[in-house]
Structures are given as C-alpha cells and as structure tokens.
A = this chain, B = another copy of it.
C-alpha cells in the first residue's frame, strides 16, 4: 500500500497539560511513521465545538494538503457518529466527530466530495474505556488514511448532506446599521466580528460601534500600529474580517467583549468630531441608503 498523505494537521480541546496530545501523536507515529503532525491548536476551550469549528475554518485555507484530525467531542462514547470527510476530490480528508466541528471548514473549502462513518471495528484500538476516541478511533483512522487505505475501508458511506451542520452566525441589517456578533478573541485581545468590510464600506472611515450599554467611535485602520492611544480601531484582520482592536492593548478586556457578544456598527451622523456616537435612530431612519452618512 503506497502512502498517500504525509501531513496530519491536528486540532483539539485536549490542552497540553495532560498527555492526551502526545499519546495521539504516538499512535500516529506508530501506525504511520512517515507522516508529520502539525498542531493547529489544542487549547480550544473544553467541549466548545463552536470555537473549534471557527478556529478550523480560519486555519483551513492554509493547511497543507493531507489529513485534518479535529477532536472536540463532548459526546465521546455516546451514539454520536464519527466521520471521515473527503474534500477537493481527495486532496484532503477531515477526520472527527459528527457534531458540527468539521462543517464550517468543509464548507469553506468547497464542500465534501464524499463522507464515510468510522465504523470498521478492526481499525479501532482496543481500549479499557470509551472516553478517548482521539486515541482509539480518530488517530488510527487518520494514520490509515496517510498509509493509503481506501476511504471506504473505514466504514460505510454517508450522504454528506446529512452531516451535522456547523453554526456560522450571519449579520443582519437593522435601520441601516449592521448587527454583528463577535466570533473570536485572539491572544492580543483583538475581537473578530462576522463582518465583511464590504458591509460597512459606505459608512466612511469612522463608524459607530455599539455593544451592551456602551458606544464608541471606531476608526478604520490597516495596522494596529496606526491607532493612537485610546483609539478604537476597526481593522481588517488576517482572515479578511473586521475586528475591533486597540494598539498594543486588549480590546476585548478593555471594552468588555467576548465571543458571542453582539456588536452594532452604525454610520455616524454628519459631525465626525463627535467622539462618542449615541444611537440616533431618527437620523438614521431618514437615510434612504446606507451611503453618505459618514
């Protein structure tokens, strides 16, 4: 059997304080010693399928062709299904639980071209307990795929349309404003919104940012270093989405934002010198298009 893939990209919520990640890599190494493993991250918050799915979606377009092993799996040991999902006609295969974790990445790279359930009992490691499918089920499947096993040997085919979908929140427009959601806070405290810059392109270079009981004026910027002290930046981040940022400080911490926070972006009234822009629904209601208000 000729080796087919030589890279396993690995994401989990295992953390690195325990031996979980090392044990999974040891299983991969023992079964498919030619394959290199690249850690995407293992610090997805425990059981947070949504955060894991978003992280995988951010990373996926950069991953090396090969096997993607993703395990955030609160339902381990229960009847939830285990999957291998082929994308790009076999360029890569994603392996993990069928709980929505893989779905956003699969969608972003063009959808599944085939999917199978990991039901072949011969490929599972014998184990004392049923709580570590990363080691006993998913890693062996990933290793066998690296070794060139046909996808169908892992288990029966399933219609990719029946995979559990992921959740990707969409913005909505209310009174000319864009009601968005914070997807992710990165290590530097930048708050990624689910907003394509095109959605606010006509709001001008200064935009009202509202969340909870607060509102501030945000400044569009290309780099964090362009922001002056205290200025709230709206920066197109490295994935092409709008993010709320401060220069060298954590926007999430200082502004009290986190994943799931609702944030409204609103064209400012004519006076660009007003630093704090309270919602002015009357002004906005009068606008007939989202343009020209900045």
A→B interface (CB under 8 Å) = 6-7, 9, 11, 13-23, 25-27, 29-30, 33, 36, 38-43, 46-47, 55, 58-59, 62-65, 74-78, 80, 127-132, 135-136, 186-188, 222-226, 235-241, 247-248
Contacts and interface: CB of A to CB of B under 8 A. Distances in A.
B238 A132 contact: yes
Nearest to A130: B222
Contacts of A46: 187-188, 248
A58 B76 CA distance: 20
Contacts of A43: 16-17
A135 B61 CA distance: 12
A238 B128 contact: yes
Contacts of A20: 186-187
A223 B55 CA distance: 26
Nearest to A15: B187
A62 B31 CA distance: 11
Nearest to A6: B33
Contacts of A19: 11, 40-41, 55, 58-59
Contact of A235 (B22, B40, B47, B129): B129
Contacts of A26: 9, 38, 59, 62-64
Please report whether the interface of chain A is mostly helix, strand, loop or mixed according to DSSP: loop
A62 B128 CA distance: 13
A64 B41 CA distance: 22
A18 B186 contact: yes
Given A29-B64, A77-B222, A131-B224, 19 more contacts: A7-B29, A15-B187, A19-B40, A19-B41, A22-B38, A22-B41, A22-B59, A26-B64, A29-B36, A30-B65, A46-B248, A47-B188, A74-B224, A74-B225, A75-B223, A76-B224, A76-B225, A127-B240, A129-B237
Contacts of A40: 19, 22-23
A238 B131 contact: yes
Given A223-B77, A224-B77, A41 B59 contact: no
A87 to B, nearest CB: 15
A62 B129 contact: no
A18 B40 CA distance: 8
